[in-house]
Structure 1
Amino acid sequence: MPITGTHIAYLHTCHRKLWLFANGIQMEHTSEIVAEGKLIAETTYLDRARKYTELAIEGIKIDFYDAKNKVVHEVKKSDKVEQAHLAQVKYYLAVLSRNGIEAPSAIIEYPKLKQREVLDWDESYVAETAEWEKETHRIIDSETCPALLQKGICKSCSYYELCYITEI
């Protein structure tokens, strides 16, 4: 199974969510928060589709790629899971690099916060993301779903009801 940016983001957010997602239990379509994030990405930068291309390579899909300047543009709703956002974009850069695109960079944009974060290429991303790929495969290939770890972010997760359902 090819590893996607979503897998890497979930690796850094919740191993249970990663396992469920990778094993065909996908709840994003039921989440108002996910829908709001997609709406922000689609309506904030209206000229992006004309200026930049969508790029699909090795299982990842980059919505806005500036091929001329080798820049990935990633739009996020909020910075609540910033580590996961950084990891996802580092993974994109590593995939681009191993496919012959030299010194790619990225901009993570948070339009609601009017903030952005720039990531320049760093050779250390190669080894770092290779470890993430191994860990991701270890989790998703496991026979059992990881245990529930109660975190503050759980209440806004699309898997919340699934994880916290109780049977009588």
Structure 2
Amino acid sequence: MNITATHINLYHVCRRELWLHANGIRMEHTSDVVAEGKLIGELSYPERAERYTEIEIDGVKIDFYDARNKVVHEVKKSDGVENAHIAQVKYYLYKLQQHGVVDATGIIEYPKLRQRELVELKEEDINAIKGWEADITDIVSANTCPPVIHSRICRRCSYYDFCYVGEAID
């Protein structure tokens, strides 16, 4: 299996969504939240496409990479810094390192917060990432979908209707 940064992100958010996504059940096209995120990314930093390169390594796509300064730029629409975002950027840095780009860093930009989060890859992160990859492989290759997580984030998820069909809404 070719693990992508999306898998890493979903692993940290919802194992059920990870399994559904990896097994070809996609709902993102129906989500206003996903569309809003793409729009914020495009409108917040319109000059990015001209200044930075989009690269793909082992199926992992990095939208904005500053090769000269070895910096990955990631834009998130969220109004909070999330562990899943940091894990995703660490995975980008890990993939770059596997291909000979050492000492790269990442910057996650949150336009809504007017905040930036610096991300670095440390030795202990590499061991953690290897564990994430093993867990992801196990999760997505399982015959059954993980259970609903019943989290506050579920209501804004593009899979909400799928996960809660037939359940009473409180």
Instruction: Give the TM interval when normalised to the shorter protein.
Output: over 0.9
Segments ≥4 residues shifted beyond 3 Å: none
Amino acid at match of 1:162: F
Tell me how many residue pairs correspond in the alignment: 167
Q: Matches of 2:20 and 2:71 in 1, distance apart?
A: 31
Contiguous gaps of at least 5 residues in structure 2: none
> TM-score by structure 1 length?
0.96
Answer yes or no: is 1:29 the counterpart of 2:21.
Answer: no
Q: Matches of 1:121 and 1:135 in 2, distance apart?
A: 20
* C-alpha displacement of 1:124: 2.0
Q: Matches of 2:44 and 2:123 in 1, distance apart?
A: 32
The 1:81–1:151 alpha-carbon spacing in structure 2 relative to 1, beyond 3 Å, is farther
Q: Matches of 1:80 and 1:8 in 2, distance apart?
A: 18
Contiguous gaps of at least 5 residues in structure 1: none
Q: Matches of 1:156 and 1:80 in 2, distance apart?
A: 14
Deviations 1:86-120 (A, max 9, x none): 11111111111111001110000000110110012
Deviations 1:124-148 (A, max 9, x none): 2211111100000000000000011
Q: 8 Å contact 1:13–1:81 — kept in the other structure?
A: no
Q: Indicate the RMSD between aligned Cα atoms, in angstroms.
A: 1.1
Matches within 5 A, 1:8-23: 8-23=8-23
Q: Matches of 1:124 and 1:94 in 2, distance apart?
A: 12
Identity within the alignment, %: 56
Secondary structure of residue in 2 paired with 1:150:
coil
